[in-house]
Structure 1
Amino acid sequence: MLEILYQDEHLIAVNKPAGMLVHRSWLDRHETVFVMQTLRDQIGQHVFTVHRLDKPTSGVLLLALSSEVARLLSQQLEQHQMTKVYHAVVRGFVLEDGIVDYALTEERDKIADKFADIDKAPQPAVSHYRVLARQEMPVAIGRYDSARYSLVELTPQTGRKHQLRRHMSHLRHPIIGDSAHGDLKQNRGMVQHFGCPGLMLHASQLQLPHPVTGEMLTIRARWDSRWQQLIERFAWQGAVSELERVEFPLNSGQDSQTIFG
């Protein structure tokens, strides 16, 4: 059963578990469980994708309950009317908040993008990041006697493939558990010393105007057991409790509704 964060006659949002594909992909032929199929069986009706989350990423995933609403939501996405907020655990101490404005070349899958334009220029990509907490743990990973980590809030302004992962890697603060752009020694160390496998990237919040009613929606997804365990181990409960009390600004003059998963 998927955790449903929000549902009405037009939309449904779920808290996607880490490690679960949104839909079938011939690049992961061995997978048999998908969000779309599971949710369709759970609510007894078809669902339509609007955006996606990578397989290892958890958090808010929005789907439409009709093709027309899916079209409206896709337009909102293209017009940057949706605001996404992620949280990540990264390597090292991030010392201050900032913006990454770093163009990205298109990442291609060897099979799916076989005929893609290989000469496509790098595309503009902008991400905002905010430091919430830091911690140094007395465990030796690689050539260091201790390991440093930061909890950061990430807000992508654009939507390039693996943008947040690539931008944090560009800052030399790769997201823990990122096998493609991260620090493999740190990834192994996180499992070995803290029992925390997988990518530590979570889509915490999605904010958008309802495509039918115009009401402003803020949908939030709580963290899974991996996150909760690590937050307790790193003594980050204070940062988390403060975060849960934050109300993000909405557009003035519009009704709003906040949904907590």
Structure 2
Amino acid sequence: MEERGVKEAMELNILYEDEEILVAEKPVGMESQSARSFEPDMVSEVKKHINRLSPKQGEPYVGVIHRLDKPVGGVMVYAKTKDAAESLSRQVSMHQMEKIYYAVVCGKPVENFGAYVDYLWKDGKNNCSKIVDKGIKGAKLAELSYQIVDERSIGNEVCSLAKIILKTGRHHQIRVQMAGHGTPLWGDQKYNPLFQKGYRSGNVALFAYSLTFTHPVTKKRMTFSVKPKGDIFETFLLPEMA
């Protein structure tokens, strides 16, 4: 069991690391933090990596700054000190951390670019969220902007590749808002009727492509990006990757 953990840590795709932070790619299908299971999660893998490079007594500190849904892969930053965690968390709350996603949606918005401003309510019992009126108790503001960068026919479906800038970080936000505005994500079994009840199969076509933030100590603005993974993305042209 010990050897397997070391091997997994070595396979972690680390984009940047110093004494304060660690930036890595979260694989599709892995939890962002510790889950109630024996499956690998990002926090455990980051801890294994730190222990492997610099073994010491005690468990290393790994601060969770933001999260990605289990079926969503992409760029994440973790803090290695409490001060770094506080700095990065402040950037998140003040909307100073820029998150760019790519998503494949079924259909096409009326406009090639735009913004969605909604209020979301999380149903913890059923692990889902929905768009509700502003006055509903527990409703939280959700904002994103999108740009359609490509369009293709997949089977009988017209699908679009959307570049999405997430301004707030709500539960299932992109999945809920895109579905609520008539263009649900490809492969989303929770919010896309085409993929519910086993009618079709596939992973959620959503990937955290880019993350920009200010380093907690050097104050340098840093950007990290990873090409979206998944067969469905290969159907489309990713302009920034050309």
Task: Say which of 194, 207, 216 aligns to 2:212.
Answer: 207
Look up the match of 1:115.
Answer: none
Look up the match of 1:255.
Answer: none
Give 1:189 deviation, angstroms.
6.7
| Separation (CA, whole Å) in 1 of partners of 2:140 and 2:232 | 35
Give 1:186 deviation, angstroms.
7.9
Look up the match of 2:42.
Answer: 35
Look up the match of 1:69.
Answer: 84
Task: Say which of 117, 124, 134 aligns to 2:151.
Answer: 134
Give 1:6 deviation, angstroms.
1.3
Look up the match of 2:142.
Answer: 125
Aligned residue type for 2:82? S
Aligned residue type for 1:218? T
User: Conserved in 2, the CA contact under 8 Å of 1:126 and 1:157?
Assistant: yes
* TM-score normalised per structure 2: 0.81
Aligned residue type for 2:34? R
Helix, strand or coil at the partner of 1:106: strand
Q: Give the 5 Å matches for 1:182-193.
A: 182-185=192-195, 191=201
Helix, strand or coil at the partner of 2:176: helix
* TM-score normalised per structure 1: 0.76
| Separation (CA, whole Å) in 2 of partners of 1:213 and 1:185 | 46
User: Conserved in 1, the CA contact under 8 Å of 2:205 and 2:232?
Assistant: no
Quick check: 1:166 aligned with 2:181?
no
User: Conserved in 2, the CA contact under 8 Å of 1:136 and 1:147?
Assistant: yes
If each structure's strand is expressed as a fraction of its own residues, which one has the higher value?
A: 2
Helix, strand or coil at the partner of 2:16: strand
Quick check: 1:243 aligned with 2:234?
no
Gaps of 5+ in 2: 1-10, 52-59, 128-135
User: Conserved in 1, the CA contact under 8 Å of 2:14 and 2:24?
Assistant: yes
RMSD (Å) for aligned C-alpha atoms = 2.2
Structure 1 residues 131 and 187, CA, compared in 2 at 3 Å: closer, same or farther? Answer: farther
* CA displacement, residues 104-140 of structure 1 (integer Å, 9 cap, x when unaligned): 12332469xxxxxxx6242221110100100013x3x
| Separation (CA, whole Å) in 1 of partners of 2:197 and 2:149 | 21
User: Conserved in 1, the CA contact under 8 Å of 2:190 and 2:196?
Assistant: no
Helix, strand or coil at the partner of 1:124: strand
Structure 1 residues 71 and 58, CA, compared in 2 at 3 Å: closer, same or farther? Answer: same
Helix, strand or coil at the partner of 1:135: strand
* CA displacement, residues 195-252 of structure 1 (integer Å, 9 cap, x when unaligned): xx2111100111111111110001112222x2xx3344x3x2xx31x2236xxxxxxx
Identity percentage over the alignment? 29
Gaps of 5+ in 1: 112-118, 140-145, 192-196, 246-261
Helix, strand or coil at the partner of 2:191: coil
Q: How many residues align?
A: 215
User: Conserved in 2, the CA contact under 8 Å of 1:177 and 1:187?
Assistant: no
| Separation (CA, whole Å) in 2 of partners of 1:179 and 1:136 | 20
User: Conserved in 1, the CA contact under 8 Å of 2:65 and 2:78?
Assistant: yes
